[in-house]
Amino acid sequence: MNTNISAKEIDLNKHLIVDIRTIEEINELSIKNTHLYPIDFNTAKEDEVKSYFEKLYKESDKALVIMCRSGARSSMLCEFLNQEEKIAYNLMGGIIAMCQNYPEMIKN
């Protein structure tokens, strides 16, 4: 199953975008209407990450789209989350693609 999604396919009525970039990256640039969950992949604990996303799956009726800067970290997280038979979509191109496709959504 392909779990990649392009920025052009994003529909905020159907998708919940989860921004997993670091606090520093988020403070530098962010997108409106995203859910912030900064993850430091060097110190993150698998059980805490899994628990957090389990809660999101239960609370939201939208499909989860994971966003980082370029799509690499979100791809790794999607692989991890999708092992549990839950579906998380990787936003190809990350926030860079969102900014190119939806400049009106940039939040300063």
Secondary structure of 25-61 as H, E, C letters: HHHHCEECCEEECCCCCCCCCHHHHHHHHHHHHHHCC
Question: What are the angstrom distances between the C-alpha of 55 and each of 6, 22, 52, 70, 74?
Answer: 25, 21, 5, 25, 18
Structural class in CATH, domain 4-107: alpha beta
Q: Which of 22, 10, 24 is nearest to 92 (CA)?
A: 10
CB 67 within 8 Å of CB 95: yes
In this prediction, residues 25-47 reach a mean pLDDT of 93
| Structural domain spans, the chain | 4-107
Per-residue model confidence (pLDDT) at position 84:
73
Q: Is the per-residue pLDDT at 108 higher than 70?
A: no
More confident residue, 86 or 36: 36
Per-residue model confidence (pLDDT) at position 107:
86
Per-residue model confidence (pLDDT) at position 2:
74
pLDDT digits (tens, 9 = 90+) for 47-91: 999 999 999 999 999 999 999 999 999 999 999 999 877 789 999
- pTM value? 0.92
Q: Is the per-residue pLDDT at 1 higher than 70?
A: no
SS3 89: strand
Per-residue model confidence (pLDDT) at position 38:
96
- Cα–Cα distance, 57 to 100 (Å, whole number): 28
